[in-house]
Structure formats: C-alpha cells, structure tokens
Structure 1
Amino acid sequence: MTLTTLPVGAITLAVATPAVTSRSPQEVKVDAAPAASEGVKVDLSAAGRAAASSSSKDADIEQSGLPASVQKLLKAIRELQRQIAELTLQIQQALKDPSLTDEERKSKAAGLQAVMSMLQAQISTSSDDLSTLMNRLKSSNDDKVKAGMLIMAKM
C-alpha cells in the first residue's frame, strides 16, 4: 500500500494505491488490485477549509432566487448571527477561565456582553432594513416568508 500526497492549491490530495513495483513517475506497475477500503482522501488547508465553508454556509441564500440586494442583507444578518454565537462561546469561556480572578471574569464577560448587545441591535436594524427593502421591491408574501425562514434556518 502506498500513500501519495499531492498539494493542489489550497487542497492536499492523499491517494492510497496498492503495492507498486516501480516508483518511476512515468511507469507504475501495480502488484495487486485495490482493496475496497482504499481510495482518495482529501485534506483541506486552513485557507481551503475557510473557502469551502464560506461558499457553502450561505448556499441556501444564494440558491433562494431572491433578489441580490435581499441576499446581501440576509448574508449580513447571518454573519451577525455567527458573531453572536462566537461571542456566546467566548463569554462562557471567560466565566470558566481559572486564570482570571472573579472580578476579571465578570469584567471580561461584561465587555463581551456589551459587544453582543451591539450586534443584536445591528441584527434588529438589518431585519428592519430587509423588511423595508422587500416592501419597496414589492416582494411576494412567499418571498418574505422564504427570507424569514432563511434568517431562522441558521439560528
């Protein structure tokens, strides 16, 4: 069994092949048929994982058929939701951080909570902007429901 890794841009391909009698890149002779468990393993670099997740995390919005301006606001709201989720984790970690004193924990959590409040206010503003935009575009009720479902889908 031979494992060959090939960097391809942001991805690294790891290909499992059966035993080989010649290692020349021009000529490779295989001794045995590949086993059913052999195959291709793909490892993404950090940049590749980020690109893959950014393209897929809003795929439902991009495929919704809603106008581009509505999609842009929906993506902005989603990003704010992601930031709030991250802040929630940071607050939980701050409250459990044994390297901080009780006062430092409370202070750090309060600072993060203030940032979270600003993000929540921004979601409210963006949601109002979305409603105004969809009314201005004379969006159908179905499109308004679809937009609402897309906002709620990742909460």
Structure 2
Amino acid sequence: MQLTSFTDYGLRALIYMASLPAERMTSISEVTEVYGVSRNHMVKIINQLSREGFVTAIRGKNGGIRLGKPAATIRLGDVVRALEPLSLVNCKREFCHITSACRLKRVLNQSIQNFLEELDNHTLADMVEDNPPLYKLLLVE
C-alpha cells in the first residue's frame, strides 16, 4: 500500500508543527519551504487538516497555523483515515465481472483495518518526542 502524496505531506506537516514549541505558530509558506512542496498543494492539505480539527488556522496579521490539539492525542490512524481514500479496489460490476464471487475485497479490507489499527497505536507525539535528529533536519529552534 502506498499513501497518496496528500496524506504523506499531511503527516509531514503535522510532524513539523508537533516539533515546534506548542505556543509557536508557523505558516503554510514555512511548511512548504521545509518540505519543498507546492504551496497550492499544501494549502489544500492544511485546509483539510483544519476541517478535521488536527490544525488550527488563524487568519490575520498575527495569524498562522498550529496543531489543533495536543500531539499526544493525534493518532496516526485517525489522520490517515481523514486524508486517505482507503478503497484499494473498484468492485462495481461495470469494472469487474467477478464481483459476486470475489473474496479479494474482504481480504484487502481486513488488511486496511490491520494497517489502521497499527497506526492507531502511535501518536504524533511518538514521532517527535526525544528525536534530536528530526529537530536538526527540520531546523527547529
């Protein structure tokens, strides 16, 4: 399974925000610069993360973005569920003539559930706490 770039950069943006001091705001431009991704792409990602409550976005002169809740409460599985289209196969009759007898969808769905359950065992805080190499790579103060 491969995550879409949308989910990949969503997780990276959250990791960046989680690595900052809790009171520090950042900007979409800053996150974009850190990861070298399109600003337009990151705007869409941050908007979705904001709608889902993972990010708080404040407009205006002193605005910016930051985590919407403590990193220790943000499970990776929840982020992936919110951002990733998790359907691995298209089982509509017009696309597959074995749909009525196929067992593949059930197996793939169970695999997705196992994948998400494993991600649920890890929080955003687990990704950043006591990780000096990460701070150095992200140039976090």
Q: Per the shorter chain, which TM-score range?
A: 0.3 to 0.5
Specify which structure has the bigger relative contact order, considering alpha-carbon pairs within 8 angstroms and separated by 6 or more residues. 2
Structure with a larger share of its residues in strand: 1
